[in-house]
A and B are shown apart, each in its own frame.
Chain A
Amino acid sequence: MSSAVGQLSLRYWWRKFKSATMMGATVAATLLTLVPLFWVLGYLLKQGLSGIDLAFFTSLPRPVGEKGGGMGNAVLGTLELVTLATVMAVPLGVSAGLYLTEPGRNGLMANAVRFAADVLMGVPSIVIGIFVYALVVRPMKTFSALAGAIALATMMAPLVVRTTEEAIKLVPLELRESALALGVPRWKTSLFIVVRTAARGIATGILLALARIAGETAPLLFTAFGNQFWSTSLTRPIAALTVQVYTYAISPFPEWHRQAWAGALVLTGMVLIVELSVHMLTGKKVRAPR
Protein backbone atom coordinates (compact mmCIF):
# COMPACT_ATOMS: atom_id res chain seq x y z
CA MET A 1 0.00 0.00 0.00
CA SER A 2 2.60 2.50 1.08
CA SER A 3 4.83 1.55 -1.85
CA ALA A 4 1.95 2.16 -4.26
CA VAL A 5 1.44 5.64 -2.82
CA GLY A 6 5.19 6.26 -3.00
CA GLN A 7 5.20 5.24 -6.65
CA LEU A 8 2.26 7.47 -7.32
CA SER A 9 3.88 10.49 -5.75
CA LEU A 10 7.10 9.81 -7.66
CA ARG A 11 5.15 9.79 -10.91
CA TYR A 12 3.33 12.89 -9.79
CA TRP A 13 6.53 14.78 -9.16
CA TRP A 14 8.09 13.56 -12.42
CA ARG A 15 5.01 14.87 -14.25
CA LYS A 16 5.26 18.19 -12.37
CA PHE A 17 8.93 18.40 -13.26
CA LYS A 18 8.28 17.81 -16.96
CA SER A 19 5.51 20.40 -16.97
CA ALA A 20 7.69 22.99 -15.26
CA THR A 21 10.60 22.33 -17.63
CA MET A 22 8.46 22.70 -20.72
CA MET A 23 6.74 25.77 -19.33
CA GLY A 24 10.12 27.28 -18.56
CA ALA A 25 11.33 26.57 -22.08
CA THR A 26 8.35 28.27 -23.70
CA VAL A 27 8.65 31.31 -21.42
CA ALA A 28 12.35 31.54 -22.27
CA ALA A 29 11.56 31.32 -25.99
CA THR A 30 8.97 34.09 -25.63
CA LEU A 31 11.43 36.33 -23.81
CA LEU A 32 14.10 35.57 -26.37
CA THR A 33 11.82 36.81 -29.18
CA LEU A 34 10.77 39.87 -27.20
CA VAL A 35 14.31 40.92 -26.22
CA PRO A 36 15.37 42.10 -29.70
CA LEU A 37 12.19 44.17 -30.03
CA PHE A 38 12.73 46.07 -26.80
CA TRP A 39 16.46 46.22 -27.37
CA VAL A 40 15.95 47.88 -30.73
CA LEU A 41 13.27 50.22 -29.41
CA GLY A 42 15.35 51.10 -26.35
CA TYR A 43 18.53 51.72 -28.32
CA LEU A 44 16.58 53.78 -30.84
CA LEU A 45 15.08 55.90 -28.09
CA LYS A 46 18.47 56.40 -26.43
CA GLN A 47 20.20 57.41 -29.65
CA GLY A 48 17.36 59.21 -31.39
CA LEU A 49 15.44 61.08 -28.74
CA SER A 50 18.09 63.79 -28.32
CA GLY A 51 17.84 64.63 -32.02
CA ILE A 52 14.12 65.18 -31.99
CA ASP A 53 12.72 68.64 -31.53
CA LEU A 54 10.18 70.79 -33.31
CA ALA A 55 12.76 71.85 -35.87
CA PHE A 56 13.24 68.22 -36.87
CA PHE A 57 9.70 68.21 -38.27
CA THR A 58 9.62 71.75 -39.62
CA SER A 59 13.01 72.51 -41.15
CA LEU A 60 15.14 71.32 -44.02
CA PRO A 61 18.44 69.51 -43.66
CA ARG A 62 21.36 71.91 -43.16
CA PRO A 63 24.75 71.62 -44.88
CA VAL A 64 27.49 69.83 -43.02
CA GLY A 65 28.97 71.86 -40.18
CA GLU A 66 25.87 73.96 -39.61
CA LYS A 67 24.02 73.20 -36.41
CA GLY A 68 20.33 72.37 -36.28
CA GLY A 69 18.11 71.59 -39.21
CA GLY A 70 15.74 68.68 -39.56
CA MET A 71 14.05 66.21 -41.87
CA GLY A 72 10.69 67.95 -42.30
CA ASN A 73 10.77 67.43 -46.03
CA ALA A 74 11.47 63.71 -45.58
CA VAL A 75 8.59 63.27 -43.12
CA LEU A 76 6.28 65.00 -45.59
CA GLY A 77 7.77 62.99 -48.48
CA THR A 78 7.20 59.66 -46.74
CA LEU A 79 3.60 60.63 -45.98
CA GLU A 80 3.06 61.63 -49.62
CA LEU A 81 4.70 58.49 -51.04
CA VAL A 82 2.79 56.14 -48.74
CA THR A 83 -0.52 57.90 -49.40
CA LEU A 84 -0.01 57.79 -53.15
CA ALA A 85 1.04 54.14 -53.07
CA THR A 86 -2.03 53.27 -50.98
CA VAL A 87 -4.33 55.09 -53.38
CA MET A 88 -2.84 53.08 -56.25
CA ALA A 89 -2.54 49.67 -54.58
CA VAL A 90 -5.78 49.45 -52.59
CA PRO A 91 -8.39 49.54 -55.39
CA LEU A 92 -6.28 47.12 -57.40
CA GLY A 93 -5.51 44.81 -54.50
CA VAL A 94 -9.02 44.71 -53.06
CA SER A 95 -10.56 44.09 -56.49
CA ALA A 96 -8.16 41.25 -57.23
CA GLY A 97 -8.73 39.78 -53.76
CA LEU A 98 -12.48 39.91 -54.35
CA TYR A 99 -12.03 38.21 -57.72
CA LEU A 100 -10.15 35.35 -56.08
CA THR A 101 -13.01 34.65 -53.70
CA GLU A 102 -15.94 34.81 -56.13
CA PRO A 103 -17.50 31.36 -56.22
CA GLY A 104 -17.83 29.71 -59.59
CA ARG A 105 -14.66 31.39 -60.87
CA ASN A 106 -12.51 29.44 -63.27
CA GLY A 107 -9.87 27.95 -60.98
CA LEU A 108 -7.07 28.31 -63.52
CA MET A 109 -7.24 32.11 -63.74
CA ALA A 110 -7.69 32.51 -59.98
CA ASN A 111 -4.71 30.26 -59.32
CA ALA A 112 -2.62 32.27 -61.77
CA VAL A 113 -3.50 35.52 -60.00
CA ARG A 114 -2.80 33.98 -56.59
CA PHE A 115 0.54 32.60 -57.79
CA ALA A 116 1.51 35.94 -59.33
CA ALA A 117 0.74 37.75 -56.09
CA ASP A 118 2.79 35.27 -54.08
CA VAL A 119 5.76 35.56 -56.45
CA LEU A 120 5.54 39.35 -56.43
CA MET A 121 5.61 39.32 -52.63
CA GLY A 122 8.85 37.33 -52.76
CA VAL A 123 10.64 39.60 -55.24
CA PRO A 124 13.51 41.46 -53.50
CA SER A 125 12.53 45.09 -53.04
CA ILE A 126 15.65 46.37 -54.78
CA VAL A 127 14.57 44.48 -57.90
CA ILE A 128 11.21 46.24 -57.78
CA GLY A 129 13.12 49.53 -57.56
CA ILE A 130 15.14 48.69 -60.66
CA PHE A 131 12.02 47.51 -62.48
CA VAL A 132 10.22 50.80 -61.84
CA TYR A 133 13.41 52.67 -62.77
CA ALA A 134 13.30 51.06 -66.20
CA LEU A 135 9.55 51.41 -66.54
CA VAL A 136 8.95 54.94 -65.24
CA VAL A 137 12.17 56.83 -64.47
CA ARG A 138 13.90 56.19 -67.82
CA PRO A 139 10.96 57.29 -70.01
CA MET A 140 10.30 60.32 -67.78
CA LYS A 141 14.03 61.10 -67.76
CA THR A 142 13.82 62.06 -64.08
CA PHE A 143 13.52 60.52 -60.64
CA SER A 144 10.11 61.36 -59.26
CA ALA A 145 7.65 60.98 -56.42
CA LEU A 146 5.38 59.22 -58.90
CA ALA A 147 8.01 56.56 -59.61
CA GLY A 148 8.63 56.07 -55.90
CA ALA A 149 4.94 55.65 -55.22
CA ILE A 150 4.58 53.16 -58.08
CA ALA A 151 7.45 51.11 -56.65
CA LEU A 152 5.84 51.08 -53.21
CA ALA A 153 2.43 50.29 -54.71
CA THR A 154 3.98 47.33 -56.56
CA MET A 155 5.08 45.97 -53.19
CA MET A 156 1.82 46.79 -51.47
CA ALA A 157 -0.70 45.46 -54.00
CA PRO A 158 0.06 41.71 -53.63
CA LEU A 159 -0.05 42.03 -49.84
CA VAL A 160 -3.49 43.64 -50.08
CA VAL A 161 -4.64 40.96 -52.56
CA ARG A 162 -3.82 38.13 -50.20
CA THR A 163 -5.10 39.76 -47.00
CA THR A 164 -8.33 40.76 -48.75
CA GLU A 165 -8.76 37.20 -49.97
CA GLU A 166 -8.26 35.84 -46.46
CA ALA A 167 -10.66 38.38 -44.95
CA ILE A 168 -13.40 37.60 -47.49
CA LYS A 169 -12.93 33.85 -47.10
CA LEU A 170 -14.06 34.28 -43.48
CA VAL A 171 -17.48 35.51 -44.63
CA PRO A 172 -19.79 32.48 -44.49
CA LEU A 173 -21.09 31.22 -47.81
CA GLU A 174 -24.60 31.19 -46.33
CA LEU A 175 -24.51 34.98 -46.07
CA ARG A 176 -23.76 35.34 -49.76
CA GLU A 177 -26.48 32.86 -50.64
CA SER A 178 -28.99 34.62 -48.38
CA ALA A 179 -28.47 37.84 -50.30
CA LEU A 180 -28.68 36.10 -53.68
CA ALA A 181 -31.90 34.38 -52.58
CA LEU A 182 -33.42 37.80 -51.86
CA GLY A 183 -33.03 38.57 -55.55
CA VAL A 184 -30.00 40.77 -55.01
CA PRO A 185 -27.79 40.81 -58.12
CA ARG A 186 -24.44 39.13 -57.75
CA TRP A 187 -22.32 42.28 -58.00
CA LYS A 188 -24.34 43.99 -55.27
CA THR A 189 -24.11 40.89 -53.11
CA SER A 190 -20.34 40.87 -53.42
CA LEU A 191 -19.94 44.59 -52.83
CA PHE A 192 -22.59 45.42 -50.24
CA ILE A 193 -22.86 42.17 -48.31
CA VAL A 194 -19.60 40.27 -48.66
CA VAL A 195 -17.11 43.13 -48.77
CA ARG A 196 -19.02 45.08 -46.14
CA THR A 197 -18.99 42.11 -43.79
CA ALA A 198 -15.26 41.63 -44.37
CA ALA A 199 -14.50 45.38 -44.26
CA ARG A 200 -12.73 45.31 -40.91
CA GLY A 201 -10.45 42.48 -41.97
CA ILE A 202 -9.71 44.17 -45.29
CA ALA A 203 -8.89 47.47 -43.53
CA THR A 204 -6.57 45.63 -41.16
CA GLY A 205 -4.74 44.09 -44.11
CA ILE A 206 -4.40 47.45 -45.81
CA LEU A 207 -2.94 49.07 -42.69
CA LEU A 208 -0.47 46.24 -42.16
CA ALA A 209 0.65 46.51 -45.79
CA LEU A 210 0.95 50.26 -45.36
CA ALA A 211 3.13 49.85 -42.27
CA ARG A 212 5.27 47.42 -44.20
CA ILE A 213 5.97 49.69 -47.20
CA ALA A 214 6.48 52.80 -45.06
CA GLY A 215 9.77 51.29 -43.91
CA GLU A 216 11.09 50.35 -47.36
CA THR A 217 14.33 51.97 -48.59
CA ALA A 218 15.51 49.91 -51.53
CA PRO A 219 12.59 50.50 -53.91
CA LEU A 220 13.00 54.25 -53.44
CA LEU A 221 16.73 54.50 -54.18
CA PHE A 222 16.30 54.47 -57.96
CA THR A 223 12.84 55.99 -58.07
CA ALA A 224 12.06 58.74 -55.53
CA PHE A 225 15.82 59.22 -55.13
CA GLY A 226 15.64 61.71 -52.26
CA ASN A 227 15.68 65.49 -52.12
CA GLN A 228 17.24 68.05 -49.77
CA PHE A 229 14.48 70.57 -50.33
CA TRP A 230 10.73 70.87 -49.82
CA SER A 231 8.91 69.25 -52.69
CA THR A 232 5.50 67.71 -53.14
CA SER A 233 5.66 67.62 -56.93
CA LEU A 234 4.85 64.27 -58.50
CA THR A 235 7.36 64.71 -61.28
CA ARG A 236 10.36 65.71 -59.16
CA PRO A 237 12.54 63.66 -56.83
CA ILE A 238 11.12 63.55 -53.33
CA ALA A 239 12.69 62.98 -49.93
CA ALA A 240 11.73 59.96 -47.84
CA LEU A 241 12.65 59.22 -44.26
CA THR A 242 14.13 55.84 -45.05
CA VAL A 243 16.36 57.17 -47.81
CA GLN A 244 17.36 60.15 -45.71
CA VAL A 245 18.29 57.90 -42.80
CA TYR A 246 20.31 55.72 -45.14
CA THR A 247 22.17 58.67 -46.66
CA TYR A 248 22.92 60.22 -43.28
CA ALA A 249 23.91 56.96 -41.62
CA ILE A 250 26.60 56.13 -44.19
CA SER A 251 28.02 59.69 -44.06
CA PRO A 252 31.14 60.36 -41.95
CA PHE A 253 29.62 63.26 -39.95
CA PRO A 254 28.57 62.73 -36.29
CA GLU A 255 25.89 65.44 -36.54
CA TRP A 256 24.29 63.58 -39.46
CA HIS A 257 24.48 60.31 -37.53
CA ARG A 258 22.53 61.93 -34.73
CA GLN A 259 19.88 63.05 -37.22
CA ALA A 260 19.76 59.59 -38.81
CA TRP A 261 18.93 58.09 -35.41
CA ALA A 262 16.22 60.68 -34.90
CA GLY A 263 14.81 59.89 -38.37
CA ALA A 264 14.80 56.19 -37.62
CA LEU A 265 12.96 56.84 -34.36
CA VAL A 266 10.31 59.00 -36.07
CA LEU A 267 9.79 56.37 -38.77
CA THR A 268 9.42 53.62 -36.18
CA GLY A 269 6.98 55.82 -34.28
CA MET A 270 4.88 56.32 -37.43
CA VAL A 271 4.76 52.60 -38.12
CA LEU A 272 3.95 51.91 -34.47
CA ILE A 273 0.98 54.27 -34.64
CA VAL A 274 -0.34 52.36 -37.66
CA GLU A 275 0.17 49.03 -35.91
CA LEU A 276 -1.61 50.28 -32.82
CA SER A 277 -4.59 51.43 -34.86
CA VAL A 278 -4.71 47.94 -36.39
CA HIS A 279 -4.76 46.54 -32.90
CA MET A 280 -7.64 48.79 -31.94
CA LEU A 281 -9.49 47.94 -35.13
CA THR A 282 -9.27 44.19 -34.58
CA GLY A 283 -9.87 44.48 -30.85
CA LYS A 284 -13.57 45.14 -31.36
CA LYS A 285 -14.67 42.13 -33.33
CA VAL A 286 -17.99 41.95 -35.13
CA ARG A 287 -20.15 39.21 -33.68
CA ALA A 288 -20.41 36.36 -36.12
CA PRO A 289 -23.88 34.99 -36.90
CA ARG A 290 -24.74 31.98 -34.81
Chain B
Amino acid sequence: MAKLSLVHLSAYFGRVKTLKDINLDIPEYNVTAVIGPSGCGKTTLVRCLNRMHEVVRDARVEGEVLLDGENIYAPGVDPVQIRRRVGMVFQKPTPFPTMSIEENVIAGLKLNGSVRNSAQRAEIVERCLRLAALWDEVKDNLGKPGTSLSGGQQQRLCIARALAVEPEVLLMDEPCSSLDPASTARIEELVLELKSQYTIVIVTHNMQQAARASDYTAFLLNGVLIEFGETKQIFTNPKRQETEDYITGRFG
Protein backbone atom coordinates (compact mmCIF):
# COMPACT_ATOMS: atom_id res chain seq x y z
CA MET B 1 0.00 0.00 0.00
CA ALA B 2 1.27 3.45 -0.84
CA LYS B 3 1.89 5.67 2.18
CA LEU B 4 2.95 8.59 0.03
CA SER B 5 2.03 9.17 -3.61
CA LEU B 6 3.65 11.81 -5.77
CA VAL B 7 1.29 12.83 -8.56
CA HIS B 8 2.68 14.96 -11.41
CA LEU B 9 4.97 16.63 -8.90
CA SER B 10 7.20 19.44 -10.17
CA ALA B 11 9.38 21.66 -7.99
CA TYR B 12 10.91 25.03 -8.80
CA PHE B 13 13.55 27.35 -7.40
CA GLY B 14 12.48 30.64 -8.95
CA ARG B 15 12.38 29.86 -12.67
CA VAL B 16 14.55 26.77 -12.44
CA LYS B 17 12.55 23.56 -12.60
CA THR B 18 14.35 21.12 -10.32
CA LEU B 19 11.84 18.26 -10.39
CA LYS B 20 9.97 17.40 -13.55
CA ASP B 21 6.59 15.71 -13.36
CA ILE B 22 7.40 12.96 -10.87
CA ASN B 23 4.92 10.13 -10.38
CA LEU B 24 5.86 7.74 -7.61
CA ASP B 25 4.20 5.56 -4.96
CA ILE B 26 6.18 5.08 -1.75
CA PRO B 27 5.10 1.86 -0.02
CA GLU B 28 4.26 1.79 3.68
CA TYR B 29 6.60 0.10 6.20
CA ASN B 30 9.38 -0.19 3.66
CA VAL B 31 12.62 1.62 3.02
CA THR B 32 12.71 3.52 -0.24
CA ALA B 33 16.10 4.76 -1.41
CA VAL B 34 16.46 7.77 -3.70
CA ILE B 35 19.66 7.65 -5.74
CA GLY B 36 21.14 9.74 -8.52
CA PRO B 37 24.10 11.98 -9.29
CA SER B 38 24.66 15.28 -7.43
CA GLY B 39 22.19 17.98 -8.33
CA CYS B 40 19.62 15.61 -9.78
CA GLY B 41 16.95 16.70 -7.29
CA LYS B 42 17.11 13.96 -4.64
CA THR B 43 17.11 16.37 -1.72
CA THR B 44 14.43 18.53 -3.31
CA LEU B 45 12.28 15.43 -3.76
CA VAL B 46 12.31 14.48 -0.08
CA ARG B 47 11.88 18.10 0.99
CA CYS B 48 8.67 18.19 -1.04
CA LEU B 49 7.31 15.32 1.06
CA ASN B 50 7.13 17.32 4.31
CA ARG B 51 6.64 20.76 2.79
CA MET B 52 10.17 21.88 3.64
CA HIS B 53 10.83 22.83 0.03
CA GLU B 54 8.73 25.96 0.36
CA VAL B 55 10.81 27.23 3.31
CA VAL B 56 13.40 28.44 0.80
CA ARG B 57 12.68 31.78 -0.84
CA ASP B 58 11.11 31.66 -4.31
CA ALA B 59 10.68 27.90 -4.09
CA ARG B 60 7.35 26.41 -5.13
CA VAL B 61 5.69 23.13 -5.98
CA GLU B 62 3.19 22.01 -8.62
CA GLY B 63 1.22 18.79 -8.52
CA GLU B 64 0.18 16.70 -5.56
CA VAL B 65 1.70 14.67 -2.77
CA LEU B 66 -0.83 12.32 -1.19
CA LEU B 67 -0.23 11.25 2.40
CA ASP B 68 -2.66 8.40 3.15
CA GLY B 69 -4.62 9.56 0.12
CA GLU B 70 -4.89 13.21 1.14
CA ASN B 71 -3.07 15.97 -0.75
CA ILE B 72 -0.65 17.74 1.60
CA TYR B 73 -0.57 20.71 -0.78
CA ALA B 74 -4.34 21.19 -0.71
CA PRO B 75 -5.37 24.71 0.34
CA GLY B 76 -5.99 24.91 4.07
CA VAL B 77 -3.50 22.19 4.99
CA ASP B 78 -1.12 23.42 7.70
CA PRO B 79 2.49 22.52 6.84
CA VAL B 80 3.26 22.37 10.57
CA GLN B 81 0.82 19.46 10.98
CA ILE B 82 2.31 17.66 7.97
CA ARG B 83 5.82 17.98 9.40
CA ARG B 84 4.69 16.34 12.63
CA ARG B 85 3.55 13.30 10.62
CA VAL B 86 6.53 13.28 8.25
CA GLY B 87 9.77 13.66 10.19
CA MET B 88 13.17 14.48 8.74
CA VAL B 89 16.85 13.87 9.44
CA PHE B 90 19.33 16.12 7.70
CA GLN B 91 22.66 15.60 6.00
CA LYS B 92 24.68 17.20 8.77
CA PRO B 93 23.83 16.36 12.38
CA THR B 94 22.11 19.40 13.86
CA PRO B 95 21.58 19.02 17.60
CA PHE B 96 20.35 22.26 19.17
CA PRO B 97 23.54 23.69 20.69
CA THR B 98 21.86 25.32 23.68
CA MET B 99 20.21 22.08 24.79
CA SER B 100 21.32 18.95 26.63
CA ILE B 101 20.93 15.47 25.13
CA GLU B 102 17.66 15.01 26.98
CA GLU B 103 16.32 18.43 25.99
CA ASN B 104 17.24 17.75 22.37
CA VAL B 105 15.17 14.57 22.31
CA ILE B 106 12.18 16.25 23.90
CA ALA B 107 12.56 19.56 22.01
CA GLY B 108 9.92 18.88 19.36
CA LEU B 109 7.27 17.83 21.86
CA LYS B 110 8.11 20.65 24.24
CA LEU B 111 8.00 23.34 21.56
CA ASN B 112 4.81 21.87 20.13
CA GLY B 113 3.23 22.52 23.49
CA SER B 114 2.56 18.92 24.49
CA VAL B 115 3.24 19.53 28.16
CA ARG B 116 4.18 16.33 29.94
CA ASN B 117 5.15 15.45 33.49
CA SER B 118 8.69 14.43 34.26
CA ALA B 119 7.96 10.69 34.44
CA GLN B 120 6.40 10.74 30.96
CA ARG B 121 9.25 12.89 29.79
CA ALA B 122 11.87 10.43 31.04
CA GLU B 123 9.94 7.55 29.47
CA ILE B 124 9.85 9.27 26.07
CA VAL B 125 13.54 10.19 26.22
CA GLU B 126 14.54 6.61 27.03
CA ARG B 127 12.25 5.04 24.43
CA CYS B 128 13.42 7.33 21.62
CA LEU B 129 17.10 7.03 22.50
CA ARG B 130 16.70 3.22 22.58
CA LEU B 131 14.96 3.32 19.20
CA ALA B 132 17.86 5.36 17.86
CA ALA B 133 20.35 2.87 19.38
CA LEU B 134 21.96 5.61 21.44
CA TRP B 135 20.60 4.93 24.94
CA ASP B 136 23.43 2.73 26.22
CA GLU B 137 26.04 5.29 25.21
CA VAL B 138 24.42 8.35 26.77
CA LYS B 139 22.16 7.13 29.60
CA ASP B 140 24.55 8.41 32.28
CA ASN B 141 25.13 11.76 30.59
CA LEU B 142 21.67 12.94 29.60
CA GLY B 143 22.41 16.40 30.97
CA LYS B 144 25.46 16.94 28.78
CA PRO B 145 25.20 19.25 25.76
CA GLY B 146 24.03 17.49 22.60
CA THR B 147 26.96 18.99 20.76
CA SER B 148 29.43 17.17 23.04
CA LEU B 149 28.69 13.87 21.28
CA SER B 150 30.62 12.45 18.33
CA GLY B 151 29.29 13.02 14.80
CA GLY B 152 27.69 9.59 14.55
CA GLN B 153 26.12 9.93 17.98
CA GLN B 154 24.85 13.40 17.10
CA GLN B 155 23.15 11.99 14.02
CA ARG B 156 21.47 9.25 16.08
CA LEU B 157 20.43 11.94 18.56
CA CYS B 158 18.78 13.78 15.67
CA ILE B 159 17.00 10.56 14.70
CA ALA B 160 15.77 10.16 18.31
CA ARG B 161 14.62 13.78 18.24
CA ALA B 162 12.68 13.18 15.03
CA LEU B 163 11.11 9.97 16.41
CA ALA B 164 9.96 11.68 19.63
CA VAL B 165 7.34 13.62 17.67
CA GLU B 166 5.90 10.21 16.65
CA PRO B 167 5.90 10.65 12.90
CA GLU B 168 4.53 8.09 10.48
CA VAL B 169 7.16 8.70 7.83
CA LEU B 170 10.88 9.36 8.34
CA LEU B 171 12.79 11.20 5.62
CA MET B 172 16.57 10.87 5.74
CA ASP B 173 18.61 13.18 3.53
CA GLU B 174 22.04 11.56 3.14
CA PRO B 175 22.17 10.87 6.89
CA CYS B 176 25.56 9.18 6.69
CA SER B 177 27.43 11.52 4.37
CA SER B 178 29.40 13.13 7.20
CA LEU B 179 29.94 9.92 9.21
CA ASP B 180 32.68 7.33 9.37
CA PRO B 181 32.05 3.72 8.19
CA ALA B 182 31.34 2.38 11.69
CA SER B 183 28.73 5.05 12.39
CA THR B 184 27.30 4.53 8.92
CA ALA B 185 26.84 0.81 9.63
CA ARG B 186 25.01 1.63 12.88
CA ILE B 187 22.63 4.00 11.11
CA GLU B 188 21.94 1.40 8.41
CA GLU B 189 21.13 -1.24 11.04
CA LEU B 190 18.89 1.28 12.68
CA VAL B 191 17.04 1.95 9.42
CA LEU B 192 16.35 -1.76 9.03
CA GLU B 193 15.03 -1.94 12.60
CA LEU B 194 12.82 1.11 12.24
CA LYS B 195 11.03 0.08 9.07
CA SER B 196 8.63 -2.19 10.95
CA GLN B 197 7.14 0.93 12.54
CA TYR B 198 7.85 3.68 10.05
CA THR B 199 7.84 4.35 6.35
CA ILE B 200 11.37 5.46 5.52
CA VAL B 201 12.69 7.42 2.55
CA ILE B 202 16.47 7.67 2.42
CA VAL B 203 18.51 9.79 0.03
CA THR B 204 21.95 8.39 -0.58
CA HIS B 205 25.01 8.82 -2.72
CA ASN B 206 26.25 5.45 -1.66
CA MET B 207 25.13 2.70 -4.02
CA GLN B 208 26.05 -0.08 -1.58
CA GLN B 209 23.99 1.63 1.08
CA ALA B 210 20.95 1.73 -1.15
CA ALA B 211 21.45 -1.93 -2.03
CA ARG B 212 21.92 -2.98 1.60
CA ALA B 213 19.33 -0.93 3.38
CA SER B 214 16.42 -0.38 1.02
CA ASP B 215 13.50 -2.39 -0.34
CA TYR B 216 12.67 -0.04 -3.19
CA THR B 217 14.87 2.32 -5.15
CA ALA B 218 14.07 5.40 -7.20
CA PHE B 219 16.68 6.63 -9.66
CA LEU B 220 16.61 10.33 -10.51
CA LEU B 221 18.52 12.06 -13.28
CA ASN B 222 18.31 15.80 -14.01
CA GLY B 223 15.05 16.10 -12.10
CA VAL B 224 13.38 13.25 -13.96
CA LEU B 225 12.42 9.93 -12.36
CA ILE B 226 14.15 7.45 -14.66
CA GLU B 227 13.25 4.24 -12.93
CA PHE B 228 11.54 2.99 -9.81
CA GLY B 229 11.25 -0.56 -8.60
CA GLU B 230 12.32 -3.15 -6.10
CA THR B 231 15.92 -2.57 -5.08
CA LYS B 232 16.95 -6.07 -6.13
CA GLN B 233 15.55 -5.56 -9.60
CA ILE B 234 17.08 -2.08 -10.00
CA PHE B 235 20.52 -3.31 -9.06
CA THR B 236 20.48 -6.64 -10.89
CA ASN B 237 18.26 -6.07 -13.85
CA PRO B 238 17.60 -2.38 -14.55
CA LYS B 239 15.14 -1.70 -17.33
CA ARG B 240 16.71 1.55 -18.48
CA GLN B 241 20.15 2.09 -19.93
CA GLU B 242 20.71 5.28 -17.81
CA THR B 243 20.09 3.32 -14.61
CA GLU B 244 22.54 0.65 -15.60
CA ASP B 245 25.17 3.24 -16.55
CA TYR B 246 24.79 4.96 -13.19
CA ILE B 247 24.85 1.92 -10.94
CA THR B 248 27.76 0.36 -12.78
CA GLY B 249 29.65 3.60 -12.25
CA ARG B 250 29.91 4.67 -15.85
CA PHE B 251 29.01 8.21 -14.79
CA GLY B 252 27.97 10.25 -11.77
Contact = CB atoms under 8 A, between A and B. Distances in A.
Interface of A: 103-104, 172, 174-175, 177-185, 188-189, 192-193, 196-197, 199, 286-290
A48 B151 CA distance: 56
Contacts of B151: 290
5 contacts: A182-B107, A183-B83, A197-B97, A287-B97, A290-B93
A38 B84 CA distance: 59
B97 A288 contact: yes
Contacts of A188: 111
B162 A181 contact: yes
B55 A180 contact: yes
A181 B111 CA distance: 12
Interface of B: 50, 52, 55-57, 80-85, 87-88, 90, 92-98, 107-108, 111-112, 145, 147-148, 151, 154, 158, 161-162, 165
B94 A289 contact: yes
A188 B90 CA distance: 20
A289 B148 CA distance: 9
A189 B79 CA distance: 14
Contacts of B111: 179, 182, 184, 188-189, 192-193
A181 B112 contact: no
A195 B97 CA distance: 12
B56 A103 contact: yes
B112 to A, nearest CB: 6
A198 to B, nearest CB: 10
A288 B112 contact: no
Contacts of A172: 94
A212 B138 CA distance: 45
Given A188-B111, A289-B154, A180 B145 contact: no
B58 to A, nearest CB: 9
Contacts of A286: 97-98
B55 A174 contact: no
A104 B158 contact: no
B145 A181 contact: no
Contacts of B56: 103-104
Given A104-B55, A188-B111, A192-B111, A182 B98 contact: no
B195 to A, nearest CB: 20
B200 to A, nearest CB: 15
Nearest to A107: B57
B90 A290 contact: no
B80 A104 contact: no
Contacts of A178: 90, 94, 96, 158, 161
B92 A174 contact: yes
B83 A181 contact: yes
B186 to A, nearest CB: 17
- 7 closest residue pairs by CB, A with B: A183-B84, A182-B108, A181-B88, A183-B83, A178-B94, A184-B111, A174-B94
A202 to B, nearest CB: 13
B128 to A, nearest CB: 12
Nearest to A181: B88
Contact of B96 (A175, A181, A183): A175
Given A181-B88, A182-B161, A289 B93 contact: yes
A196 B103 CA distance: 14
A160 B69 CA distance: 49
A114 to B, nearest CB: 17
A288 B96 CA distance: 9
Nearest to A198: B98
B85 to A, nearest CB: 8
B64 to A, nearest CB: 21
A182 B50 CA distance: 10
Nearest to B113: A188
Contacts of A183: 80-85, 108, 112, 165
A123 B57 CA distance: 34
Contacts of B145: 287
A103 B52 CA distance: 13
Contact of B87 (A103, A182, A189, A199): A182
B147 A290 contact: yes
Contacts of B50: 181
B19 to A, nearest CB: 19
A197 B90 CA distance: 19
